[in-house]
Structures are given as C-alpha cells and as structure tokens.
Chains A and B, each alone.
Chain A
Amino acid sequence: MMAEEDLDIQGNPGTGQLLDIPWEVILWNDPVSLISLVVRVLRKLFSYDLAKAERLTMQVHNEGKSVVWTGDKETAAAYCVALHGYALSATIQQSQ
C-alpha cells in the first residue's frame, strides 16, 4: 500500500517511489539474428544457463520481445549497451 506522503499533488508516485521502481532490459525480436547467436549472447552477458537463455530467446522469437533482466537503472543500461554491441535490438524501461 502506498503511503499518502509518497504521492505528489496529482496523486502520482513521488520521486522516492519512482527511484524504487526497477528497470527492465527488453530484448526485441529481429528477423535476421540467429537464435543460436541470441542464446549465446544471453549466456555470455548474463551468465544464464542454457535452459533459461533458450526460454528467453524463444519468448523473443514467438512473442516479439522478452524482459531479459530487471534491476537498477545503471546496470540495466550497461546490459542494454552490451546487447547493442552484438547488434541486438534492446531497450530499457521502468517496470510497469
């Protein structure tokens, strides 16, 4: 439950609340990148095991996107930049 002091004058979350909301790294499907490449990059960058890397990759492939990491903004941005280093389409956003 959100305390009253955490809301601004319009009833939106205050700055302190926004800072607490984690950031997501979203990996988007692209039609030319190989599944094997995406699995390899997820394992290499995030140290995911094969099963998790494959599950996330297939989610990207079948649903168009997947949240591949959640946490603080700086780390999310660093991971996103690393994914772009392999020309993978990735963005960051605050969790909904």
Chain B
Amino acid sequence: MSEPFRRVPEGIALDLPSSLRIWLANMAQKTSDDAVTMEDPVHRRLLGPIDPSKDHDDPVTELQRQFAVEGSLGVLIETSNNEVLNEEQAEEWIRALQLILAATAARMAITTEDDLGRLNDAENEVVTTLQAGISLMIDALDT
C-alpha cells in the first residue's frame, strides 16, 4: 500500500480510500457543529476562554477563534476529495485533524492518560486513526 500522504512537486498527494475521505469530512462537519453548540463539551474544549479567570474571551477574540476553527475544518471538508493539497491546505488539514481529535477526546471524556486505557476497541480505533493521520501528514509536510 502506498503512503496516504506523499510529497509531490505540487504539494501533498492524498492516497486515501473514499470511505475514509467521507468519514473525515463527516467528522469535521460534526466537530464544526458541536463547536458552536454552547454547553457541548466540544465547545468548552475548543473554544473555552484563553484567560481562565474570565468566563469568556472578549468578542473579537471569540470570533477570531470561531472563524479559525470553522476555517480549518471547512478546508478539510472542501478538499476531502482532492488528489493533491497545496502547502497551505495541508497545514489546515493538520489543524483540522487535531481539532477533530480534541473534539473526539472531549466527547469520550478523555482527560488523563489513564482514560485512554478504558476506551473500547471502536473508540480506540478512532483515536489512533486520527493520531496516525496527523503523524503521517507531519512526516509528508516536513519531508
């Protein structure tokens, strides 16, 4: 099997099965939806205040952060069927995969290393698949 992410002259080539592309796009959309749902653990994880002494960020920072989250996830959704990503899109994929991973951890209530040990096989596969994707994309981008 070839590398799922491979450097080519135009950027990073994606060699992913269509089922994985659809799964990633769906995960990105769900993360985006949950991130803007107040009281959702994903919202608290991804958009909690940067200054913990305050209940929320100032409005400009809140918007800036929300746009950043939606932007990265949006790029992954829009380019999920691409054959090649440019450098900027590939960097957004790393951000998006990290956001999906953090959202997944928030939904699974993973807050310590010990929590990883109580995941069932399906949950563990989701976490390790996302981690592998991030690692492989880093390898491809930094080659």
CB within 8 Å of B: which residues of A? 30-34, 36-37, 40, 77, 80-81, 84-88, 90-93
In whole Å, how far is B34's beta carbon from the nearest beta carbon of chain A? 13
Tell me what chain B mostly uses at the interface: helix, strand, loop, or mixed. helix
In whole Å, how far is B31's beta carbon from the nearest beta carbon of chain A? 10
Please tell me if the beta carbons of A34 and B115 are within 8 angstroms of each other in the complex.
no
Please tell me if the beta carbons of B112 and A31 are within 8 angstroms of each other in the complex.
yes
Tell me what chain A mostly uses at the interface: helix, strand, loop, or mixed. mixed
Please tell me if the beta carbons of A34 and B112 are within 8 angstroms of each other in the complex.
no
In whole Å, how far is B115's beta carbon from the nearest beta carbon of chain A? 6
Determine the distance from Cα of A37 to Cα of B103 in the docked complex, in whole angstroms.
Answer: 16
Question: What are 5 A-B contacts defined by CB distance under 8 Å?
Answer: A31-B116, A34-B131, A77-B61, A84-B65, A91-B52
Partner of B98, one of A37, A90, A92, A93: A37
Please tell me if the beta carbons of B94 and A31 are within 8 angstroms of each other in the complex.
no
Partner of B127, one of A32, A36, A81, A87: A32
Please tell me if the beta carbons of B102 and A92 are within 8 angstroms of each other in the complex.
no
